[in-house]
Amino acid sequence: MTDAKSKPRVGFIGLGNMGRSMAGHILDGGYPLNVYNRSRDKADELVARGAVWCDTPGALATASDVVITIVGYPRDVEQVYLGENGILACARNALLIDMTTSSPELAVRIAAEAEKKGCRALDAPVSGGDIGARDAKLSIMVGGAQAAFDEALPILQRMGPAIVRQGGPGAGQHTKMCNQIVIASTIMGVCEGLAYGKAAGLDLPTVLKSIGGGAASGFQLNVLGQKIIDGDFAPGFFVEHFLKDLGIALAEAERMQLDLPALALARKLYQELAAQGHGRLGTQALFKHYGA
């Protein structure tokens, strides 16, 4: 490991809408930074600011004390951690932090394999979207050992103020499923409320001034509701990625013999939206279901 008096070298894999900002905050915090992304051009800005490009996830893991990942799907997490020449094949006494929203079972598996390799692993999915990533205001839900959490905390604090250890391996992912389940029903309510207001001939910005300050207020209404009114369906969080999350949540609920009808309805509506070619729009594009 790096000398205790200096900051550990952090490796960051996944420089998409959120990851690029998150990695930038770490670099701004004075941490030496290695980066990898499947599309190299997304790393150009960070490299220009002093980050070091690595050609593979394995090469990054070899050269890093801490490895952070935020990739697309559980299959991507599995490949980058457990694949041939992946992170666990190459890391040495490293702290591994997966910030992807992924499968709780996979998080448990990675933690067990990491321990065999002499590493520490945390699952630490986030909430706050691209705005939270940009402004370093993410909520970070962490699963894993207390000692590993304490080690990771100074780095995680570069990305957001709300950082809570939820329990052992997989607990962070289960907590993120709670988050997505709440969002799924909330965004349906936002879309239906605004669709009702539109059909009633109300001025939607004026409606939002009233209900946005009352009991209905919150990010989904005040931020995404405003985007809906503006006709802005650009992604802060992709429909296709939200569908992935809802699928994980429903699978876990089924495993626990828990019936979540609103979650099932939300997935059905988002599946229809994606089938219409809107998978790369933001989650607020659900408003299109109501004739937008």
Beta bridge partners of 10: 33, 66
How does DSSP assign 89-151, residue by residue?
A: HH-SS-EEEE-S---HHHHHHHHHHHHHTT-EEEE--EESHHHHHHTT--EEEEES-HHHHHH
Residue 34 burial (C-beta neighbours within 10 Å; 0-12, 13-18, 19+): buried
Amino acid occupying residue 268: K
176 catalytically annotated: yes
Contact in structure between 46 and 33 (CB atoms under 8 Å): yes
Q: What is the rounded distance in angstroms from the CA atom of residue 203 to the CA atom of residue 48?
A: 46
Q: State the catalytic residue, choosing from 42, 117, 137, 176.
A: 176
What's the rounded Cα separation, in Å, for the pair 189 and 259? 20
Kindly state the tokens that stand for 188. Answer: 């349906």
Which amino acid, 164?
V
Catalytic site positions: 176
